[in-house]
Structure 1
């Protein structure tokens, strides 16, 4: 045992994942903000600049990194199946702003994403699973939803939530799922 705190691989992976996200965000349209303080599920916030103006359009992000993305691939390699704590999912769904899960392949430096409100909308089975006794559930992220060096697809996802996107009432969904 050393005289000082030891470093662990998961800390290195998570730090690298956050650095990759920060580096790949297009700063001409996004302002990246790290969330400090107690970790309740949000790792960073991005604010969207439209036509050179800040209009208060923000998204929040949970960043998960891995050195072995191949261990999470399903559906012939088309989807990433990533476990996320249900408490984090509930927290995300309760947010008034879009909430994204970013899964980062730290070896290939690729960022994959899914917006959780959109992922859950209209899928009663997911809400039933969310209310089961397990502590985690798998979120499926398309391998085609990548950030790369171009944030157009992220802007489109965020804009679709702001322009006529639905809001979720977790209590109402919980009640209606019990009636089935």
Structure 2
């Protein structure tokens, strides 16, 4: 096969006979080659744009992972507080403070997960939040050492109910 034998996409081959369909349209708005070029550009864009959206969304979801290392974050809460029990679906230690849900379920990589998760009839969309002197997490010692990590979480149930508030991930350090 010779490369010079492949017809150009820009110019018609020598001795090409115009299409009969073309003769039926007196003032065609564009040529077949222009139409095919437009379709090709559209197909490439339709393929690549979702990748760009996905990559930009992943970058936007990377929330704060800074940690307050002073024991129990008491400098931010000088009045003190008591550890609150795990209230997700499975047991865990009473550790951390605040939020309408506290426990190990939302842990991911040592911090509260970001993005969407689902369990049974509930769906969660979470974004890490900063509290405790503009940090996302703090160390907690209640027998073992934990990292308590905050997130703003939107919870939706299959029955149509929903709730927006703070959830806390209790992650082993």
TM bucket by the smaller chain? under 0.3
Larger Rg: 2
Q: TM-score, normalised by structure 1?
A: 0.25
Could you state the TM-score of these two structures normalised by the residue count of structure 2?
0.26
> Would you tell me which structure has more helix in proportion to its own residues?
1
